[in-house]
Amino acid sequence: MKIAVFAVLVTILAFGCSSVVIKPADFSWPIESVMKVDSKGVIHDERYSFSVNVKELLFLETQDSINVAKTTVHVIRDIRGYYYFTSTKFKNIYVLEQTDGGFKVAAKIAVSPNGLHDPAFNQRSPYVQLINGSEPVLLLTKEGPAEGAKR
């Protein structure tokens, strides 16, 4: 009897401690959020309860983290939960992933040697679509432009 009770307790503990994975999940935002950077370097979107200080990201691209106020940042989240950031004059798309209390750069995708002039993101699952004025549209993944990515 003691062995049976012990076996049941061990089984309950084993199942109670195992991690549960719930799939599929879709983390995507249907359209981009376009946010102005405040004087402290923070962007905020009430729709997604989202805010982050983007000074370091702006410094990566512009080498300036002081004159950031009123810069417009475009952000979208893909189906896998990665965040795509860019702005006018950026030469790259920054793909960020969540980390404890912040973000880390998961990928840097070169998209325009002269800088973007009118960037916009759209969700085209499983891709993120980058539109830049009259230039060809790019379909992006975390790894970079998708095969045959210009549309």
- The residues with which 139 forms a beta bridge, in sequence order, are 129
β-strands 127-132, 119-124: how paired? Answer: antiparallel
**Residue-wise burial string across 6-41, b where 16 or more C-beta atoms lie within 10 A, e elsewhere:** eeeeeeeeeeeeeeeeeeeeeebbeebbbbebbeeb
Q: pTM for the full model?
A: 0.84
Under 8 Å CB-to-CB from 40, ≥6 apart: which residues? 53
Query: How is the chain split into domains, by residue range?
Result: 27-150
* Spatial CA neighbour of 82 closest among 96, 100, 99: 96
pLDDT higher than 90, residue 4 = no
- What's the pLDDT tens digit per position in 70-105? 899 999 999 999 999 999 999 999 999 999 999 999
